[in-house]
Amino acid sequence: MSNTKSYHMSTDDFRRHGKEMIDWIADYYETVESYPVLARARPGEVAASLGDELPVHGEGFSKILRDATEKILPGLTHWQSPGFHAYFPANTSGPAILGELLSAGLGVQGMLWSTSPACTEVETRVLDLLAELLGLPESYRSTGNGGGVIQDSASSAVLCALIAARERDSGQRSNRVGCDGTQVAYCSTQTHSSLEKAMGVAGLGRANLRQIEVDERFALDAERLAVQIRSDRAAGLRPIFVCATLGTTSSNAVDPIADIGRICSEEGLWFHVDAAMSGTAAICPEYRHLNDGVEYADSYCFNPHKWMFTNFDCSCFWVADRAALVGALSILPEYLANEATRSGAVFDYRDWQIPLGRRFRALKLWFVLRYYGVEGLRYHIRRHIELTGKLVAWIEADPHFEIVAPAPFNLVCFRYRGSDGLNQRIMEELNEGGEIFLTHTRLNGRFVLRLCVGQARTELEHVEKAWNLVAATAERLRRIVPLTEIDQLS
C-alpha cells in the first residue's frame, strides 16, 4: 500500500508529550500536599467515570492527560504526600523516575544474560556494591558462591528462599514429585503475612508454619524457637526454614538475628532475614549493628522501594549459595538454550526468580545510588530517624498518651490512654480530615496507632503538624464523644 498510515506516536510528538508528562509530574510534586492524603473516592466511582467503551479512533495525548488529571487523580491515595504516615514509605524520587523512564524506553527483556548483557551485569554490580554499603557478609558477593538479584517484592524473595530451602532439604525430590507434608518452617507471630502465603504457594501447607511467640519488645523468642524445633523433630517432622525480621510491619521490632542464626546453624535450617522495611538504616554505620548475626543467614532481603527513594518495585535479595537457589528454580527449555548459558560464565537471572521475564529494575537503583551518593542517602535516613525521635519525645511528654513499642528507626506505635474505641475514632477522624494518613495495628491485644516518618518529602513541620492534629483530635473527642459510644467501638 502506498499510503500506509502509522498509528504510532511520532518521535517529534513523543518529545513534545514527554515534556508535558514531566511537567505534569513536577507540578504534582509541587502541589501534592494540597490533596487529601487518603482517597475520597467511593467504590466504583473511578471506574464509572472512565466510561463503558473504548474509542474507535485514537484520542489526542492532551485529552488523555487531562482525563488522568480529572478522573484518576481524585481517586488516588497520595503516597508521595509529606502527610503520608501510614503502613510504610513507598518512596520515589527524581532520579528513580528518570531511571524507570529510561528502562521503559529501552524496553529490554533481561531473562537471560544473552537477551541483554548490560541488564544482567549492571544488576550484579549494583547488588555487590549495595551489599558492601550495607555491611553484608562477603558470602553474598557474586565474586564468591553467592550473589544478589532484584525481586519485585520481599514477598517474592521469601517465596524463593522457601523453595530453595524445600529443595535443599528434599534433594530436589519436592520439585519432581511434590511435597510430603513433613517439612516445617518457623517465624514469629509478628512476621509479615507473605511467609504464610508462601507456605501455601510452595506446597508446604500453611498448617506447617510455626508462629513463635515474641518477647516484651515484640521480637521472636529464640529459646521458644529452639524448643519448638526439637518438639517437631521428635514428632517425626523435618524443620527446614526460619524467617527472622529486621523491622516488623506492626511495630518495627528487630528479631535477635545472631541467636536465631546460631540455632539454624546447629539444626541445619535455611535462615532467611527479612529486612524489607528497616534494612535501609544499615547504610549508616551507626546502625550497622542491625545486621549483627547476618553471617549465619542463607538469604537476606531489603526493599529500596520503601525507604531508599527508589520507586516500586525493587526488592534486593541475596543468597550465600546461589547454587541452592538456581538448582531449585532453574528449568531450561530448548528455546532458551544459548552458548553463554551453556558456558556457565554468566548469570541468567530467570533462574533466580519465579517468573521467566524480568525488567531492567537495576537501572533506577543505579540512578539513585549515583545521584544521591552515600552521603545523600545517609543524610535523609538520619533525618527521618531524628524526626521520629522528636515525635517520641512529644508523645512521652504528654500524660494522655503512651508509647507501646520501642521506636529504633522511623515508626512510632502509640495510643491515647483510653479505650480501643477512642483510639480507633481518633484515627478515623484524622484520616477523614485529609491532612494526614495513619494506620493501626494490634499489640498485646490493644488497638495501637502507627505513625511512620519516612516519606521522602516529610520534614519537621509535617511531623509537628501530624502530632498537633493527633493531640487536638484526641482531646476534642474525649470531651464530646459519650463514653458509652466510644466503648461500643472497642
% pLDDT > 70, the chain: 97
Tell me the residue type at 78. H
290, 429: one domain? no
Q: For residue 406, give the CATH number of its domain.
A: 3.90.1150.10
Is 326 contained in some domain?
yes
Q: Kindly state whether residues 140 and 212 are assigned to the same domain.
A: yes
Supply φ then ψ for residue 305, to 5 degrees: -80, 5
Phi–psi pair at 21, nearest 5 degrees = -65, -45
Size of the chain, expressed as the number of residues it contains: 490
Q: Do 61 and 24 share a domain, yes or no?
A: no
Mean pLDDT value of segment 98-126: 94
pLDDT band with cut points at 50, 70 and 90 for residue 480: confident
pLDDT of residue 2: 56
Cα separation, 75 vs 45, in Å, equals 8
Residue in the block written with cell 531511571: 99
Query: Do residue 171 and residue 304 come from a single domain?
Result: yes
| Domain shared by 303 and 322, yes or no | yes
Single pTM value for the model: 0.92
**Domain range enclosing 83:** 16-38+77-90+378-490
- Same domain? 199 vs 57: no
Is 364 within a domain?
Answer: no
Per-residue pLDDT, 490: 44
Q: CB neighbours of 95 closer than 8 A, spacing ≥ 6?
A: 309, 364, 367, 368, 370, 371, 372
Question: HSE (CB half, 13 Å, CA atoms) of 261?
Answer: 17
Residue 4, domain member (yes or no): no
- Shared domain for 145 and 294, answered yes or no, is yes
The answer to whether residue 368 sits within a structural domain is: no
Whether the pLDDT of residue 1 is over 70: the answer is no
Q: Are residues 62 and 187 in the same domain?
A: no
Query: Lowest mean pLDDT: which of 150-159, 214-223, 456-465, 477-486?
Result: 477-486
- Tell me the H-state helices in 151-269: 154-170, 173-177, 194-201, 222-234, 257-267
pLDDT (average), residues 253-276: 97
Rounded to whole angstroms, what are the CA distances from 155 to 158, 197, 218, 355, 373?
Answer: 5, 9, 21, 14, 28
The model's pLDDT over 300-321, given as tens digits with 9 standing for 90+, comes to 999 999 999 999 999 999 999 9
Q: Give me the sign of the Cα torsion angle 118, 138, 170, 272.
A: negative
Q: Are strands 439-443 and 238-245 parallel, antiparallel or unpaired?
A: unpaired
CA dihedral 69, 75, 80, 84 (to 10 degrees): 150
User: Does residue 96 lie in a domain region?
Assistant: no
Look at the block and give the residue holding cell 475514632.
Answer: 425
Query: What is the Cα–Cα distance from 365 to 356, expressed in whole angstroms?
Result: 21
Q: Is the domain of 341 the same as that of 401?
A: no
Count of domains in the chain? 3
- Report if residue 5 sits inside a domain: no
Contact predicate 385/281, CB 8 Å: yes
Does 289 reside within a domain?
yes
User: Tens digit of pLDDT for each residue in 129-180?
Assistant: 999 999 999 999 999 999 999 999 999 999 999 999 999 999 999 999 999 9
Q: What is the chain's mean pLDDT, rounded? A: 93
Q: Which residues of 26-38 are buried (b: 16+ CB within 10 A; e: fewer)?
A: eeebeebeebbbb
The CATH number of residue 326's host domain is 3.40.640.10
Give domain status of residue 135, yes or no. Answer: yes
pLDDT exceeds cutoff 70 at 484: no
Residue 478: predicted pLDDT: 82
32, 81: one domain: yes
Tell me which residue has cell 525430590.
173
Residue 489, pLDDT > 50, answer no
Q: Are residues 170 and 294 in the same domain?
A: yes
The radius of gyration of the chain from alpha carbons, rounded to an integer in Å, stands at 25
Does residue 5 carry a pLDDT above 80? no
pLDDT tens per residue, range 192-212: 999 999 999 999 999 999 999
Cross-strand bridge partners of residue 450: 413, 439
Helix-then-strand count for the chain, H and E: 17, 11
Contact 322, 353 (CB under 8 A): no
Is residue 149 domain-shared with residue 22, that is, in the same domain? no
Q: Quick one: pLDDT at residue 483?
A: 54
